[in-house]
């Protein structure tokens, strides 16, 4: 049912890749999301929480060299603790965040990030570039109906191991022979209900299947390929079906404790996306 629409909507998608180094460890956490290229000018739509990572990356990169320099100058343990307190350094605190961008840009470019006032939407606008795709997203002018079949598409379960931390350079670098594979992962379901935002508007909708890690920023579309929203988050609803009992497994009695939750997806509706894009004079398609 979704074979052709998945193929068509995959043409304009782009993986967002981030690599995080935490204090006290050279091991790296790798994650990411999904971005939609809207037109040949390279304008990109994604979630605000993804776009915010660009600012975090810049802030950490600007202060990290000074952190390294101060730590190297520590005369003893007490001095080092004072430096750690100054920068809020402790186990689990991110000290470096590297973003790897796969947009096919050869020339220098400037990037402007435009966040939505309160919804989880953001524009990444590139100036002076051109990028060609076989197709671009087409957004529905109609809010999706309850029970309507939809599919999510994004870069869940990426298979990449491309980066490492260099003590010599005090930076995250690409490996010479790293794994590099970003298969798209689709997940279908139905629209379960409309969701009200903090301003009292039904600007979002719920889906019967969750959005997987890496699918944030990706499209939610109909079997015909028309986009009804962008995957924003996953919610976990308490079913109140708590289980606390004993069961037999062979000849052994085992105690089972289980608290189930229903995992559902939340998408920002295409009707709100259209308003946002039009307010910012972005070229895009709607139907």
Rounded Cα distance, 208 and 206, in Å:
7
Q: Mean pLDDT of all residues in the chain?
A: 91
Question: In this model, does residue 185 exceed pLDDT 80?
Answer: yes
Alpha-carbon dihedral 154, 40, 276, 155, rounded to 10 degrees: 10
pLDDT at site 106:
55
Total domain count, the chain? 1
How far is C-alpha 65 from the chain's CA centre? 27
Rounded Cα distance, 63 and 45, in Å:
29
| pTM attached to this predicted model | 0.88
> Do strands 149-154 and 110-115 pair parallel, antiparallel, or not at all (unpaired)?
unpaired
Question: In this model, does residue 32 exceed pLDDT 90?
Answer: no
pLDDT at site 100:
83
pLDDT at site 20:
94
pLDDT at site 143:
97
Rounded Cα distance, 175 and 164, in Å:
6
For tokens 């001095």, the residue is 79
CATH code, domain with 88? 2.40.10.120
For tokens 């952190």, the residue is 67
Rounded Cα distance, 270 and 19, in Å:
30
pLDDT digits (tens, 9 = 90+) for 127-181: 777 788 889 999 999 999 999 999 999 999 888 888 989 888 889 988 888 777 8
For tokens 């085992």, the residue is 254
Determine which of 48-52, 58-62, 100-104 has the lowest per-residue pLDDT on average: 100-104
pLDDT at site 210:
95
State the residue range of the domain holding 216.
3-286
Q: Are 15 and 154 in contact (CB under 8 A)?
A: no
Who wins on pLDDT, 182 or 216? Answer: 216
Rounded Cα distance, 1 and 100, in Å:
33
Q: Which residues fall within 8 angstroms of residue 267, CB to CB, at 6 or more apart? A: 204, 205, 206, 207, 211, 220, 228, 229, 230, 231, 232
pLDDT digits (tens, 9 = 90+) for 225-261: 999 999 999 999 999 999 999 999 999 999 999 999 9
Q: Which residues fall within 8 angstroms of residue 64, CB to CB, at 6 or more apart? A: 95, 96, 170
pLDDT at site 105:
59
């Amino acid at each position: 049912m979704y074979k052709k629409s998945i193929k068509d909507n995959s043409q304009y998608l782009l993986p967002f890749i981030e690599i995080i180094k935490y204090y006290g460890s050279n091991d790296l956490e790798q994650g990411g999301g999904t971005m939609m290229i809207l037109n040949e000018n390279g304008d990109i739509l994604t979630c605000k929480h993804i776009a915010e990572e660009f600012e975090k990356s810049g802030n950490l990169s600007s202060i990290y060299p000074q952190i390294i320099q101060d730590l190297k100058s520590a005369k003893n343990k007490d001095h080092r603790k004072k430096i750690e307190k100054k920068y809020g350094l402790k186990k689990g605190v991110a000290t470096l965040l590297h973003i790897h961008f796969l947009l096919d840009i050869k020339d220098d470019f400037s990037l402007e990030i435009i966040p939505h006032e309160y919804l989880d939407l953001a524009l990444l606008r590139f100036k002076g570039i051109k990028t060609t795709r076989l197709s671009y997203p087409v957004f529905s002018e109609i809010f999706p109906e309850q029970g309507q079949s939809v599919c999510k598409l994004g870069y869940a379960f990426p298979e990449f191991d491309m980066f490492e931390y260099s003590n010599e350079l005090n930076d995250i670098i690409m490996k010479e022979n790293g794994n590099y594979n970003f298969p798209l992962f689709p997940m279908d379901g139905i629209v379960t209900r409309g969701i009200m935002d903090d301003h009292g508007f039904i600007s979002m909708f719920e889906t019967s299947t969750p959005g997987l890690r890496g699918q944030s920023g990706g499209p939610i579309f109909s079997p015909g390929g028309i986009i009804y929203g962008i995957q924003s988050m996953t919610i976990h609803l308490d079913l109140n079906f708590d289980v606390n009992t004993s069961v037999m497994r062979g000849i052994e009695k085992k105690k089972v404790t289980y608290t189930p939750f229903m995992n559902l997806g939340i998408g920002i509706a295409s009707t709100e996306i259209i308003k946002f894009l039009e307010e910012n004079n972005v070229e895009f398609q709607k139907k």
